[in-house]
């Protein structure tokens, strides 16, 4: 399922706070898709034309190259087109009125601006908004916008499904289909920004993007980095580096690679502060254990003075919510602070687990959550507990569900497990 975060702040990686109590079932999704079929076509939707370059795939430099090398035009023309697309949400070249007729004809011949198809969208009473976006005829993902005091956060997916298999993550139960292209990633931002009437540098309603939806962003490195470059570009969405956050389950070498090419905020799905437990919850930990992961985080933080790293910790009843777990977490994060020689360099977000059908994990009761938090607070660590948003439109943490044509056997196995528990309809 699409595990986009519908929370107020500090959204975690997709699997961090896996589902809520009532994830959208396949039937609900089918209903959404059926209703959507009766809706008018998406404004600006353009069918795939493999002979043309989708300009959503290109960041500033690659678009300049395209203008120079493919169209034989001056590089600065690319800037005009970027503004039309990302600032004014214009996708028809004929409406780009400051381009000459000949250039518009060339663009028509060689390029297209293909926006994701909005299969369905819903607004919550609290201002949260979610979209079901068709990525191709067989796969759909969900994107959620969460407004909150002075900020608006969009939670974006990087893959259809996820190849990692975090045990508490409902996305994991859907298996994996493919990476999203740069166009499909930035297209999620475009759809939300256009809906919000976002005007970069002026009326900015979309102030933050978190790569915390479905998938492991660092497993789709090039496309994610290019999309984040458009998010941060003044000719794109003009977001400051710290307002774009990438969340990873801990792909250590790729954290270093990210540090070489980008300066976005880093979040890590931690969930346990000892290797035995973390390897159970996040199997990737067997390959990149906590010590290696923390060293990579330290290297990331040390590149630039003042950089902090956010650690996401999903609280599961009787699994990782006991006082000894809080003390282990505290120790680990203090070590991080010391290594980067900065107080509060490690930030932590506590995410009460939201159960989904078939999971063996449970949400701790409120008292247990409060005492875990208090133990951290008493030691001087700020540890906010995430507040759920958008639950009236099934957009709360983990309630969202895309459509994954699984290429692994995981989805079928999970369905079988649900059926054996009499929960077949929830698959």
Least distance between ligand SF4 and beta carbon 141 (Å):
12
Among 15, 175, 259, 364, binds ligand SF4 (CB under 6 A): 15
Minimum CB distance to ligand SF4 smaller for 152 or for 213: 213
Candidate segments 119-127, 169-177, 296-304, 349-357, binder of ligand SF4 by CB under 6 A: 169-177
Among 1, 85, 154, 169, binds ligand SF4 (CB under 6 A): 169
Minimum CB distance to ligand SF4 smaller for 275 or for 337: 275
Least distance between ligand SF4 and beta carbon 44 (Å):
29
Q: Provide the greatest CA pair distance for the chain.
A: 69
Question: What's the rounded Cα separation, in Å, for the pair 295 and 256?
Answer: 10
Structure tokens at 410: 């995981």
Minimum CB distance to ligand SF4 smaller for 116 or for 398: 398
Minimum CB distance to ligand SF4 smaller for 154 or for 164: 164
Structure tokens at 285: 């930990």
13 touches ligand SF4 by CB under 6 A: yes
Question: What's the rounded Cα separation, in Å, for the pair 214 and 10?
Answer: 16
SS3 string of the chain?
A: CCCCCCECCCCCCCCCCCCCCCCCCHHHHHHHHHHHHCCCCCCCCCCCCCCCEEHHHCCHHHHHHHHHHHCCCCCCHHHHHHHHHHHCCCCCHHHCCCCCHHHHHHHHHHEECCCCEEEEEEECCCCCEEEEEEEECCEEEEEEEEEECCEEEEECCCEEECCCCCCCCCCHHHCEEEECCHHHHHHHHHHHHHHHCCCCCCCCCCCEEEECCCCCHHHHHHHHHHHHHHHHCCCCCCCCHHHEEEEECCCHHHHHHHHHHCCCEEEEECCCCCHHHHHHHCCHHHHCCHHHHHHHHHHHHHCCCCCCEEEEEEECCCCCCCHHHHHHHHHHHHHHHHHHCCCCCEEEEEEECCCCCCCCCCCCCHHHHHHHHHHHHHCCCCCCECCECCHHHCCCCCCCCCECCCCCCHHHHHHHHHHHCCCHHHC
216 touches ligand SF4 by CB under 6 A: yes
142 touches ligand SF4 by CB under 6 A: no
256-315 residues near ligand SF4, rule: CB under 6 A: 269
Among 82, 99, 140, 172, binds ligand SF4 (CB under 6 A): 172
Say how many C-beta atoms besides its own lie within 10 A of residue 70's C-beta: 12
Out of 142, 184, 216, 312, the active site residue is 142
316 touches ligand SF4 by CB under 6 A: no
Candidate segments 13-21, 88-96, 386-394, 416-424, binder of ligand SF4 by CB under 6 A: 13-21
Catalytic residue status for 413: no
Candidate segments 11-19, 68-76, 182-190, 273-281, binder of ligand SF4 by CB under 6 A: 11-19
Out of 155, 162, 169, 397, the active site residue is 397
Question: What's the rounded Cα separation, in Å, for the pair 219 and 271?
Answer: 20
Least distance between ligand SF4 and beta carbon 248 (Å):
8
Candidate segments 7-15, 123-131, 341-349, 370-378, binder of ligand SF4 by CB under 6 A: 7-15
Q: How many residues does this entry show for the chain? A: 427
Minimum CB distance to ligand SF4 smaller for 17 or for 264: 17
215 touches ligand SF4 by CB under 6 A: yes
Least distance between ligand SF4 and beta carbon 166 (Å):
3
Site string for ligand SF4, 148-167 (x = CB under 6 A): --------------x-xxx-
Among 171, 320, 373, 399, binds ligand SF4 (CB under 6 A): 171
Size of the site for ligand SF4 (CB under 6 A): 15
Minimum CB distance to ligand SF4 smaller for 87 or for 363: 363
Catalytic residue status for 142: yes
Minimum CB distance to ligand SF4 smaller for 13 or for 86: 13
Residues in the site for ligand SF4, rule: CB under 6 A? 3, 13-15, 162, 164-166, 169, 171-172, 215-216, 249, 269
Residues with a known catalytic role: 142, 397
């Amino acid at each position: 399922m699409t595990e986009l975060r519908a929370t107020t702040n500090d959204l975690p990686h997709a699997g961090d706070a896996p589902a809520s109590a009532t994830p959208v079932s396949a039937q609900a999704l089918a209903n959404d898709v059926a209703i959507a079929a009766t809706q008018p076509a998406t404004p600006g939707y353009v069918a795939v034309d493999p002979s043309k370059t989708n300009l959503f795939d290109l960041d500033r430099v690659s678009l300049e190259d395209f203008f120079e090398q493919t169209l034989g035009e001056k590089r600065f023309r690319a800037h005009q087109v970027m503004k039309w697309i990302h600032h004014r949400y214009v996708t028809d070249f004929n409406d780009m009125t400051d381009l000459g007729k000949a250039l518009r004809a060339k663009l028509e011949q060689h390029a297209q601006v293909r926006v994701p198809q909005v299969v369905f969208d819903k607004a919550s009473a609290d201002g949260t908004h979610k979209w079901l976006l068709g990525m191709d005829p067989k796969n759909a993902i969900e994107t959620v916008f969460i407004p909150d005091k002075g900020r608006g956060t969009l939670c974006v997916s990087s893959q259809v499904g996820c190849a990692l298999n975090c045990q508490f993550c409902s996305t994991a139960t859907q298996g994996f289909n493919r990476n999203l292209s740069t166009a499909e990633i930035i297209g999620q931002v475009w759809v939300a920004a256009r809906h919000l009437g976002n005007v970069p540098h002026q009326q900015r309603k979309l102030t933050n993007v978190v790569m915390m939806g479905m998938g492991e962003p660092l497993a789709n490195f090039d496309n994610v980095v290019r999309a984040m470059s458009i998010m941060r570009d003044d000719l794109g969405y003009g977001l400051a580096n710290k307002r774009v956050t990438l969340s990873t389950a801990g792909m250590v070498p790729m954290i270093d690679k990210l540090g070489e090419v980008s300066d976005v905020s880093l979040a890590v799905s931690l969930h346990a502060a000892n290797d035995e437990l973390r390897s159970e919850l996040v199997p990737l930990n067997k390959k990149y254990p906590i010590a290696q992961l923390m060293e990579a985080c330290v290297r990331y933080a040390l590149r630039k003075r003042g950089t902090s790293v956010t650690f996401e910790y999903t609280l599961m009843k009787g699994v990782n919510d006991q006082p000894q777990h809080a003390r282990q977490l505290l120790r680990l994060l203090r070590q991080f602070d010391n290594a980067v020689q900065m107080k509060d360099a490690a930030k932590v977000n506590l995410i009460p687990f939201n159960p989904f059908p078939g999971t063996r994990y449970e949400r701790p009761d409120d008292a247990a959550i409060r005492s875990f938090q208090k133990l951290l607070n008493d030691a001087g660590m700020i540890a906010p507990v995430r507040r759920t948003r958008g639950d009236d439109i099934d957009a709360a943490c983990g309630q969202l569900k895309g459509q994954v044509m699984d290429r692994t056997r995981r989805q079928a196995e999970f369905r079988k497990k649900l059926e054996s528990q009499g929960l077949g309809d929830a698959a």
